A and B are shown apart, each in its own frame.
Chain A
């Protein structure tokens, strides 16, 4: 037995072994996907991630340059607009992704945690965006924050989450909430990798009934990502 196969007593070794067992490299970074993924409805998850990357990149530039730059220079306006419209696109494609996954009951086949992390991402992304509106440092931000202040006071959280406190809102917007969104997205993607992309209903029904497979799901399981219900058929 080699040294790498010896059971380890250290916590780092146990974490490594658990991680590799849960997500072996061929699942973590697959080079094939099931054939049913060749549909436009499956592109909105990665479109959401692409939008998030643009949001974070443009947000980093805005944070580096500051409010005077994003309000009073042409390039600042440009990156301010990139940041805003990337957020609009993020929510647009995330909602279409949500609808697609809802109507295909994407929590099937042991994917409950995939669905729940996705729902929580949506819920956390909303205040992430709203704290951006009140962090603009302009009259628009003042108007939104004073209107929101009344609402939040009325439900009793106004002292803890004070939308007229720029420092607090800016910290939420550029650090706390984005870190939560990114962490949740990483967990969401890793869970998708572990369980595979949810298959269409008809494919699962055929498997349950033991009927012969069609060309779309006739590939051997060794050739496809994952070992769960989402593993039939493959495309490179």
Chain B
């Protein structure tokens, strides 16, 4: 079985796209997941410390 067939066995794509509807807003679930991941990565990029940042700042002060 080739890898494409394996993926097809995991994700059944043989149907119309699932969508999220709210008033006039209509988004595919795939796009909602992508937007959610972008928000998650954005928040993590702000809150997670960058490796060596504290050392560089203390080095700049000396």
CB contact list, A55-99 vs B, under 8 A: 74, 77, 88, 92, 95-96, 99
CB contact list, B19-62 vs A, under 8 A: 34, 37-38, 41-42, 44-46, 48, 50, 52-53, 56-61
Question: How many positions in chain A have a CB within 8 Å of any CB in the partner chain?
Answer: 24
- Closest chain B CB from A35 CB (angstroms): 5
Complex Cα distance A69/B58, Å? 55
Residues of chain B with a CB closer than 8 A to A235's CB: 56, 59-60
Question: Are A215 and B42 in contact, CB atoms less than 8 angstroms apart?
Answer: no
Question: Are B48 and A218 in contact, CB atoms less than 8 angstroms apart?
Answer: no
Given contacts A40-B46, A235-B56, contact A77 B37 (CB under 8 A): no
Residues of chain B with a CB closer than 8 A to A215's CB: 57-58, 60-61
Is A38 an interface position by the 8 A CB rule? Answer: yes
A-B contact pairs, 17 of them (CB 8 A): A35-B53, A38-B52, A39-B46, A39-B50, A96-B38, A96-B41, A96-B45, A99-B38, A99-B42, A214-B61, A215-B57, A215-B58, A216-B60, A216-B61, A219-B60, A233-B57, A234-B60
Chain A residues with CB under 8 Å of chain B are 35, 38-41, 43-44, 74, 77, 88, 92, 95-96, 99-100, 214-219, 233-235
Given contacts A92-B34, A99-B42, contact A39 B53 (CB under 8 A): yes
- Closest chain A CB from B7 CB (angstroms): 11
Extra contacts, 14 of them, besides A88-B34, A219-B60, A235-B59 (Cβ < 8 A), are: A38-B52, A39-B45, A39-B46, A40-B44, A40-B50, A44-B45, A74-B2, A92-B34, A92-B37, A92-B41, A215-B60, A216-B60, A233-B60, A234-B60
